[in-house]
Amino acid sequence: MDPFDDLLHGVRGEGSVFGASVLSPPWALTFTGQASLTLCVPLRGEGWIIRDGDARRLREGEAAIVRGPEPFVFSDTEAPRRVTNAWHGDITDARHGGDVSDARHGGDITGDTVLLVGSYLVNGEVARRLVRILPSLIVLPEDADCAGMRAYLEAQLLACRPGRQIVLDRLLDWLLVCTLRDWFDRPEAEAPGWYAALGDDVVGPALRAIHDDPSRPWTIASLAAVANVSRTTLAGRFTKLVGEPPLTYLTGWRMALAADLLNEPGATVASVAHRVGYADAFSFSSAFKRIHGSSPNTYRQPGHEDREPLSGLSVK
């Protein structure tokens, strides 16, 4: 496993709302479902994504990821006159005069524009680390691999075979991951330090070792041994590329895991402490409070999800 794998592990189709809409102009859809991430893919035709007064064209074959939970509009024009209805888990007609039909259950999807949407409610501190480092809108051009997948998605929409929803969910997962990975590879993405560091001969092995076994009692010496370099070399290069020292990164990752583990049924502070590499609950609680600003027992009470982490939980 690496950081990218771990951050995406909790972003899965089981928590998504899926929709496909056949649109004939004039039309406009507003999305207000409070989703953490919304994936929009025009299988046919194009439109405009409008958010906070800014409009961005989304062409056929391109993929867009919109970071929530703020609302946005997808329209056939850069400046829609009005939007009356909204996405609340289903796509509905959002402007009089046009035609919007639901294509999720098979049948005809012929129309000027066919929009495929997956809305993801991202749960857990680990997955939220990914959301925090994303811009409000990502639009990527179609590549050769996605061209074939777009045709396959369209074929699956037409089919009414058993397991169709699961197939579509997994295809959307695949498209979301590929879009995010392609975005991080672009110069304008300002990817977090750890993403670029994964390809480094020194830091990459250390990062993967941390994510493979975060409960192991790692030291600078043991991580340097994994990377086959000296402690000084690892510490300096890790800090330069990732933006923080190895053990600081390790603590931040352990505390992100711990935040999610605390909400598992039957979890105790002591058991979570052990699972993330702490010998006793006291030292774990001290580290947890330093990172999250509250004790483990307070954190897992209802409402803690709305709190922002302190700077100690790095997402660089």
Q: What tens digit of pLDDT does each residue of 238-295 get? A: 999 999 999 999 999 999 999 999 988 889 999 999 999 999 999 999 999 999 999 9
Residue 313 lies in a domain: no
Query: Do 258 and 163 reside in the same domain of the chain?
Result: no
Query: Do 177 and 203 reside in the same domain of the chain?
Result: no
**Predicted local distance difference test score (pLDDT) of residue 261:** 94
Query: Which of 130, 162, 189 is a domain's end point?
Result: 189
C-alpha pair distances (Å), 19 with each of 25, 35, 63, 67, 145: 19, 13, 15, 17, 22
pTM: 0.76
Where residue 12 falls among pLDDT bands split at 50, 70, 90?
Answer: low
Residue 155 lies in a domain: yes
Q: Which of 199, 106, 122, 238 is nearest to 160 (CA)?
A: 106
Query: Do 136 and 208 reside in the same domain of the chain?
Result: no
**Percentage of the chain with pLDDT > 90?**
33
Where residue 36 falls among pLDDT bands split at 50, 70, 90?
Answer: confident
Query: Do 80 and 166 reside in the same domain of the chain?
Result: yes
Domain of 170: which CATH number? 2.60.120.280
Beta carbons of 127 and 172 less than 8 angstroms apart? no
Residue 288 lies in a domain: yes
Residue 314 lies in a domain: no
For residues 244 and 25, the model is more confident at 244
Euclidean distance between CA atoms 154 and 221, whole angstroms: 52
- At 209, give phi and psi (nearest 5°): -65, -40
Query: Do 164 and 200 reside in the same domain of the chain?
Result: no
Query: Which of 189, 209, 237 is a domain's end point?
Result: 189
**Cα torsion for 10, 16, 20, 21, to the nearest 10°?**
-120
Q: Using one digit for the tens of pLDDT, what is the confidence trace for 200-233?
A: 999 999 999 999 999 999 999 999 999 999 999 9
Residue 214 lies in a domain: yes
Question: Which of 17-26, 29-38, 306-315 is predicted most confidently?
Answer: 29-38
Query: Do 267 and 183 reside in the same domain of the chain?
Result: no
**Predicted local distance difference test score (pLDDT) of residue 20:** 62
**Predicted local distance difference test score (pLDDT) of residue 278:** 95
Query: Which of 153, 173, 189 is a domain's end point?
Result: 189
Total count of residues recorded for the chain: 316
Residue 282 lies in a domain: yes
| DSSP code at position 200 | S
Residue 164 lies in a domain: yes
Q: Using one digit for the tens of pLDDT, what is the confidence trace for 145-157?
A: 666 666 676 676 6
Query: Do 202 and 107 reside in the same domain of the chain?
Result: no
Question: Which of 23-32, 92-101, 235-244 is predicted most confidently?
Answer: 235-244
Question: Which of 19-23, 36-40, 116-120, 274-278 is predicted most confidently?
Answer: 274-278
Name the domain count of the chain.
Answer: 2
Query: Do 71 and 123 reside in the same domain of the chain?
Result: yes
Query: Do 142 and 221 reside in the same domain of the chain?
Result: no
Domain of 221: which CATH number? 1.10.10.60
Query: Do 45 and 176 reside in the same domain of the chain?
Result: yes
Query: Do 185 and 201 reside in the same domain of the chain?
Result: no
- The boundaries of the domain holding residue 101 are 3-189
**Predicted local distance difference test score (pLDDT) of residue 212:** 93
**Residue range 30-44: average pLDDT?**
82
Amino acid at 216: R
**Residue range 45-52: average pLDDT?**
88
Residue 58 lies in a domain: yes
**Predicted local distance difference test score (pLDDT) of residue 82:** 58
Q: How many CB atoms lie within 10 A of CB 132?
A: 12
**Residue range 121-133: average pLDDT?**
82
Query: Do 58 and 155 reside in the same domain of the chain?
Result: yes
Token pair recorded at residue 218: 């790692």
